[in-house]
């Protein structure tokens, strides 16, 4: 099965549309959470995702916060501002749908979480040491995470117990197995790896291949809508620079 894997859309409809179009033919879409927060299109993104035929979607920390299930004090002032606006903007139908999303799922050989298998909503996996500890908290060969907005992978060497970091520029296509691997598709709607293009991945669950992809979209159009909604300047600026 060919699966389009994406995460951290953050209410950026132009980025979401670009990813869905760029992915070509795929049989399923797996979304690792943070559909809303930061961006100007929470309902547009939720509507678009809900109409996908074979969607698996997790809740992230921003989704939970927009629903009032996490205290907004846990976020910085700019994120909080965007979350308050999101909370007031979400339709009842979309809020109910977001509320129904799980924090953790297993799909065949893949465990799906937003942050990490140890702390699904909050932990950032950005370094090998932290990632090495995370392998003990899930059972399947592979784990898919988002949350950090950085496309990367961690491989665990079963014999030495060593964990190594793999970044897409080394090779955007990797063969999965036999080692256990934690994979992050990067962020569709707010990348933080100095590349403003939307980030996602294509997973082939039969051939066990994972390919990171980037696609350009109209960042300025999104920035204009953010400005119209009175979003903080820093959130608007960072979209164009990828941080
Ligand atoms: Zn996020």
State pLDDT tens for residues 117-135.
999 999 999 999 999 999 9
Q: What is the dihedral of CA 116, 120, 122, 126, to 10 degrees?
A: 10
Q: How far is the CA of 35 from the centre of ligand 1 (A)?
A: 8
Assess contact for 165 and 127: CB atoms under 8 A: yes
Q: How far is the CA of 159 from the centre of ligand 1 (A)?
A: 34
Q: How far is the CA of 156 from the centre of ligand 1 (A)?
A: 25
State pLDDT tens for residues 48-107.
Answer: 999 999 999 999 999 999 999 999 999 999 999 999 999 999 999 999 999 999 999 999
pLDDT band at 20 (very low <50, low <70, confident <90, very high): very high
Q: How far is the CA of 110 from the centre of ligand 1 (A)?
A: 20
Measuring CA to CA, how many Å separate 55 from each of 42, 131, 226?
Answer: 17, 27, 27
pLDDT averaged over the chain? 97
Q: How far is the CA of 195 from the centre of ligand 1 (A)?
A: 16
Measuring CA to CA, how many Å separate 103 from each of 113, 152, 224?
Answer: 6, 21, 32
Domain 2-241 homologous superfamily, CATH? Metallo-dependent phosphatases (3.60.21.10)
Taking residues 31-43, report their average pLDDT. 98
Assess contact for 212 and 199: CB atoms under 8 A: yes
Report the alpha-carbon distance of residue 43 to residue 92 in Å, rounded. 10
Report the alpha-carbon distance of residue 174 to residue 192 in Å, rounded. 22
The domain locations on the chain are 2-241
Q: Which residue stretches of the chain are H helix?
A: 13-22, 42-50, 61-66, 77-89, 92-99, 128-134, 219-228, 233-241
Start-to-end Cα distance in the chain: 33
pTM exceeds 0.95, yes or no: yes
Taking residues 169-191, report their average pLDDT. 96
State pLDDT tens for residues 200-237.
Answer: 999 999 999 999 999 999 999 999 999 999 999 999 99
Report the alpha-carbon distance of residue 135 to residue 163 in Å, rounded. 10
Q: How far is the CA of 90 from the centre of ligand 1 (A)?
A: 18
């Amino acid at each position: 099965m060919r699966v389009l894997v994406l995460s951290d859309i953050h209410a950026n409809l132009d980025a979401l549309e670009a990813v869905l179009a760029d992915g070509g033919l795929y049989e399923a879409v797996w979304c690792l959470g943070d559909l809303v927060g930061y961006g100007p299109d929470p309902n547009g993104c939720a509507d678009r995702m809900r109409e996908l035929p074979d969607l698996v979607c997790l809740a992230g920390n921003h989704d939970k916060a927009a629903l009032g299930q996490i205290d907004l004090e846990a976020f910085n002032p700019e994120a909080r501002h965007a979350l308050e606006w999101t909370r007031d903007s979400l339709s009842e139908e979309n809020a109910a749908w977001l509320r129904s999303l799980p924090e953790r799922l297993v799909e065949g050989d893949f465990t799906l979480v937003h942050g990490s298998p140890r702390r699904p909503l909050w932990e950032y996996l950005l370094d090998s040491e932290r990632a090495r500890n995370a392998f003990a908290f899930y059972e399947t060969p592979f784990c898919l995470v988002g949350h950090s907005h950085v496309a990367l992978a961690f491989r665990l060497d079963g014999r030495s117990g060593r964990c190594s970091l793999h970044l897409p520029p080394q090779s955007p296509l990797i063969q999965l197995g036999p080692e256990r691997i934690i994979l992050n598709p990067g962020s569709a709607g707010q990348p933080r790896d100095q590349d403003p293009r939307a980030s996602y991945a294509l997973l082939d669950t039969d051939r066990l291949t994972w390919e990171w992809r980037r696609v350009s979209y109209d960042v300025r159009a999104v920035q204009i809508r953010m400005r119209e909604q009175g979003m903080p300047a820093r959130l608007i600026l960072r979209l164009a620079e990828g941080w």
